[in-house]
Structure 1
């Protein structure tokens, strides 16, 4: 258990001194609210030992109705957001689990099971995603409803959350500004937390990075917790070239659910990430980008007063960046931000309409980025510091070198406040369901010189109709908006891509979205196909104006459209038993999905971040305590590229895996990823590195 003792060491070394006073005021407030309830509700774990429900299904009508196993019973169904019921009444909602993944190095691996999700940007632990060609600040990432916001242009990454902390993910493709505000013009993903009811230890290993993964979960009464320690060295691509994707991560999750009182749930998560390499094609000759430290402290408290529901959340984050340009200079930056929010809402039944309303207050305070540049000067031997410094940088981010301070300045110092009101209504008319809703949103963004206010209205209307017991058709029309981020408005400084300049006069993006779907559901088979089209006016793009200088500007408009599908099938176990007269007959299962997406601006030029067409097939077989699975992914070539992109060739990858439950308390999983050792870029980003080559993963789970 050496790794578990290590998990506590971050508490003494966390950079709380950088957080300022605001987080401590918030901590005191939360403490005064939570401590009395925590103390009053220390009870026996009544019902904590009851059997959980295995919630790891491919969608809401899970096609993998696998018999429960003792080793899997430390999770139950995760609670979904209040708006899920409304959206589910008009088009299918999907969640994705880890049942066909082994020792996942990143939560993105879970998300990629959705046909709407693709990798975006450069590689490594802070790799980002896009949804239907929307990425960066256009998609909202949430952890149990807590927004994860980043001031990096690449957008928010969920790499700071250990996969062992997550039960599954929910994907909301399409404009979702009505519920989630400015950051969800292109959709959202929500990471779903499990509820641990049994002590368990998970150990994982990966051959490519020699990665280690340790996770320990336990509970006492109504309180549960999870500790995780993960570390990976630099990996390699299919040709054996080094990828700069090392990382080290320590995290703690703690949650309490009182039996009585207005406080229904309180949880907090702290994640300390160190020595993170940015896997880029610039490595190692042109640029070596390291994130020496990336910390996250977030939490949420949920309350219920009769029929009034409320929540309070916060997210404090810091990110240090170290950029080495060999034989030239070093740029360092320190960024931090405190995001927080409060909401209150309720629901009622009015003349056969189910009505929901909510008021939201969101804020971002202390959003700062401090930068300094160090010029590499001649060493005692008279030569510029170059190769030796590079080698030191690869071995330690705290390397010593001969340098002179060129400048030091604050490149961003801003804040943001948002107030919004939301309402929706749902009703069924026989075989037809109708839903509509709207949002009134006011936002103020400020820095030391300029205050900017934005007022926006967004809404949606949708309907679904049951065509037959198996077939359902739906249509969904929505409007959405995205205010420029604080970085796009106010930032002016150095990044791993060069100098980037913001523009305070940027216009708000406005979008209209329409999508239609046809779904099928019968015994053992669910399927759906969706067509969508979204037009965005005042589309904000970062363009290159000279070598190593880029600016943010509004395009006239851009259009993204496409089609996606997914199918889940499971062989009927009942049929197998009756035909073979055996109680333990195995069964086959399969998942097939894909998408074709295209996007262009008003003059017909390709816009960035549109993913290549892709298809994904998962095929497996389960017999008693053994589960076998394989995943085949085809990614088409990409020739229509936007600014900052490169062409891609088509590629087909194959993963295989197996899970074996030794007994009621122990299970083993193994997989072989990129079995055919394909060499391909992770995305069309012109700085993207190659993907990892073949890799073997092992994972052990013990109930304690």
Structure 2
């Protein structure tokens, strides 16, 4: 297998809205890729090659070290498994079915999971929620990929255990735990990017690492410049102490970046957008008592600046500071002889300050304003439980959230109770059928409510009357695990109320509004097979659609795409090929544009030199395709053909 299932995120659901989903799955044009997958599955199902290896990754949030989630709801990928540019978290997870890039380009590229993006995806670093007030949504691009061991994406209709901000799922970044000395040096063409990383640890109780990287502006396939340069340094310190039956863990991940370009179509003729400085500090302290209970405290400080220059007109500089602090405690439960947990969580935000300065074309200050000076508290209690009855696994969960938001004397509060149900039936040793249903929600962010200022897209005005988004989601899954073949087909539908849309009032003015109703539905299919002891294949297809009650397309949807991954593993060599075909899409949502079809081919060759050295040559966009990475109306083209080299040393 090229993908690895993981068990570190709660994402439980129940009975599917099958009738609504299958109405669209039966469309002839969209069945063709699925028919191809089925044909390949039929051709390889009888293969007698050795069984594919399945690796389970257990994260900190799974107290009982067991899976409470439906098969196929989660996938985990290591940074060294992706076959593309190694710039951001988005680059790493973009190859997983149901995940695409979103928004404008550059180092702070955001991502979409099953059509949910911006503040609708909860991003965590070692269990610490990353909450920011960028209009593009949350991003963890301040963490260099070299400091990550894996990234897990949890998809599904319900996210009750995570509360607000996890309407569409979660993305969890797990930091590295080196065993001995490890060093990496890499460089690439097009943007002259270089990166150096040095780490040391004992594999269990201590880890330390530092990563330094920089890049110049890149170029698209036409040779036009892209505002994608950056400088960044990140570090990591982790310690774990065992005291009788108690485990005490501490971690600190600081990061500093400067001159980070925001790549969009305005550059270089009409405008330049960048982040002159970007500072982050993520601290976590955790105590766990065997498999009985766990408590965690955390703090995320961020201080960054964005600059938007309209050539020959004006320049706006926005300063942003905030503290996210919180804690969680939960304990194992065995209600009615089941297994699960119950607990409480607090996520607080303090000192959320956003100020704006405007300068005229001569660089003279014109306007200075304080846009947000706010804070926020989210208190929650949750419980989830799962039971086993022969071949049937079933369970459910509840979570109650209360939130209080304030800004400059204005305040509002709200509360939500959400739940989910799930069932999974193992028909035999190979086939599993699963179904899930659940409710999700998202409170509006402080930015959506109160921000009034200038962004790279123009002036934005908040709407303090926004209602929380609500979602009723359903999913149906079919999974097969054979000797040399595995396959999955998952369909889903989300029925949304009060969906928050960013819309254009005029060319230079935007705001937010609630839509009465909206729906997002689609499916993902994947087939993995091993045709030879050294040769593995993976074929996947994704398709989705989303529209409001008036039939208008929603933004941030995943374009239909077919992907074929090939890996050959020799004694000292490993060859990987990543070939994808993105279909054209003429329909698009507010603030977007049509997408042309594109064929994107990435590849790499890795060679082992003894037991301590590993060399790699990789190529991105081998066909030098000119294509947009996202449907955003201001998106720039992606970088042209890029060749890179990477050298790793394992000191032991």
Shared fold by TM > 0.5?
yes
Please point out which of 531, 535, 544 is paired with 2:504: 544
The residue that corresponds to 1:455 in the other structure is 415
Residue 256 of structure 2: aligned partner: 272
In the alignment of these two chains, the number of paired residues is 604
Taking structure 1 as reference, are residues 312 and 562 closer, same or farther at Cα in structure 2, changes over 3 Å only? same
Q: In structure 2, what is the equivalent of residue 698 of structure 1?
A: 645
Cα distance in 2 for residues equivalent to 1:509 and 1:556: 10
SS in structure 2 of the partner of residue 238 of structure 1: coil
Q: Does 1:301 align with 2:285?
A: yes
Whether 1:464 and 2:414 are equivalent positions in the alignment is no
- Of structures 1 and 2, the one with the larger relative CO (CA 8 A, separation 6+) is 2
User: Matches of 2:81 and 2:553 in 1, distance apart?
Assistant: 37
Cα distance change, pair 77–644 in 1 and its aligned pair in 2 (3 A): closer
1:231 to 204, 210, 214: 214
- Structure with bigger strand share is 2
Match of 1:79? 59
Q: SS state of the match for residue 346, structure 2? A: strand
Separation (CA, whole Å) in 1 of partners of 2:103 and 2:304: 18
Judge conservation of contact 1:77–1:194 (CA < 8 Å) in 2.
Answer: no
- Cα distance between partner residues in 2 of 1:102 and 1:655: 6
Alignment partner of 1:629 is 2:576: yes
Which of 406, 411, 424 is 2:371 aligned to?
Answer: 411
**Residue 174 in structure 1 maps to residue 159 in structure 2:** no
What are the Cα deviations for residues 148-193 of structure 1, in whole angstroms up to 9, with x where unaligned? Answer: 1110111112211111111111111124431111101111111122
Deviation by residue 1:88-128 (Cα, 9 ceiling, x = unmatched): 35654321122243772222221012111101000000000
Q: Which runs of 5+ in 2 are unaligned?
A: 8-49
1:365 to 342, 350, 353: 350
Shift of 1:66: 11
Runs of 5+ in structure 1 lacking a partner? 1-54, 68-75, 378-402, 574-586
Residue aligned with 2:179, SS: coil
State the Cα deviation string for residues 7-32 of structure 1 (Å, max 9, x = none). Answer: xxxxxxxxxxxxxxxxxxxxxxxxxx
What's the counterpart of residue 113 of structure 1? 95
Q: CA deviation at 1:304?
A: 2.0
Counterpart Cα distance in 2 of 1:602 and 1:497: 27
What's the offset of the Cα at 1:404? 1.9
Residue 58 (1) aligns with residue 42 (2)? no
Is it true that 1:667 corresponds to 2:614 in the alignment?
Answer: yes
User: 1:487 aligned to 433, 447, 453, which one?
Assistant: 447
More helix by share: 1
TM-fit CA distance, 1:57: 5.3
Preserved contact between residue 82 and residue 92 of structure 2 (Cα < 8 Å): no
Secondary structure in 2 aligned to 1:454?
Answer: strand
In our comparison, the structure showing a higher alpha carbon Rg is 1
Per the TM alignment, residue 60 of structure 1 is displaced from its structure 2 partner at its CA by 4.5
Q: Is the 8 A contact 1:176 1:188 kept in 2?
A: no
Deviates more, 1:460-469 or 1:90-99: 90-99
Q: Which residue of 97, 111, 130 corresponds with 1:129? A: 111
Instruction: Write the distance in 2 (CA, Å) between the matches of 1:351 and 1:137.
Output: 36
Cross-structure match for 2:43: none
Deviation at 1:450, TM superposition (A): 1.4
Offset of residue 547 of structure 1: 2.1
**Of the candidates 200, 222, 225, which is equivalent to residue 218 of structure 1?**
200
TM-score, structure 1 normalization: 0.83
Structure 1 position 308, deviation (Å): 2.2
Could you tell me how far apart the structure 2 residues matched to 1:57 and 1:540 are? 33
- Structure-2 change in CA distance of 1:63 and 1:126 (3 Å): farther
Q: Which of 433, 439, 463 matches 1:473? A: 433
Deviation of residue 590 (structure 1)?
1.1
Aligned to 1:252: 235
SS of the residue corresponding to residue 165 of structure 2 reads: helix
Displacement of 1:405 in angstroms is: 1.3
Work out which of the residue numbers 279, 295, 303 in structure 2 matches 1:318: 303
DSSP-derived class of the 1:538 partner: strand
Worse overlay, 660-669 or 167-176: 167-176
Return the match for 1:559 from 515, 519, 527: 519
Which residue number in structure 1 is paired with residue 361 of structure 2?
376
User: For the residues of structure 2 that align with 1:94 and 1:498, how far apart are their CA atoms?
Assistant: 37
| Map of 1:10 onto structure 2 | none
Task: Could you list the structure 1 runs, at least 4 aligned residues long, displaced by more than 6 angstroms after superposition.
Answer: 61-64
For 1:182 and 1:330, the matched residues in 2 are separated by 35
Check whether the contact 1:177–1:183 (CA below 8 A) recurs between aligned residues.
no
Query: Per-residue CA shift, 1:580-617, capped at 9, x if unaligned?
Result: xxxxxxx1011221210100001001111112101111
2:137 aligned residue: 155
The 3-state SS of whatever aligns with 1:539 is: strand
Flag the 1:356–1:202 CA change in 2: closer, same or farther, 3 A.
same
Q: What are the equivalent positions in structure 2 for 1:487-636 lying under 5 Å apart?
A: 487-571=447-531, 573=533, 587-636=534-583
| Structure 2 counterpart of 1:44 | none
Question: Structure 1 residues 370, 85: CA separation in 2 closer, same or farther (over 3 Å shift)?
Answer: same
Displacement after TM superposition at 1:489 (Å): 0.6
- For 1:444 and 1:666, the matched residues in 2 are separated by 53
* Alpha-carbon distance between aligned partners in 2 of 1:510 and 1:572, rounded to the nearest angstrom: 47
State the match for 1:42 in structure 2: none
Partners of 2:239 and 2:213 lie apart in 1 by 25
Give the superposed CA RMSD.
2.0
| Structure 1 stretch displaced more, 103-112 or 416-425 | 103-112
Shift, 1:355, TM fit = 2.8
Q: 2:341 aligns with which of 356, 366, 369?
A: 356
User: Deviation of residue 469 (structure 1)?
Assistant: 1.1
8 Å CA contact 1:614–1:633 kept in 2: the answer is yes
Structure 2 CA distance for aligned equivalents of residues 85 and 135 of structure 1: 28
| Alpha-carbon contact 2:5-2:57 (below 8 Å) kept | no
Secondary structure at 1:137's aligned position in 2?
helix
Counterpart pick for 1:442 among 402, 407, 428: 402
Question: How many Å separate the matches in 1 of 2:261 and 2:216?
Answer: 9
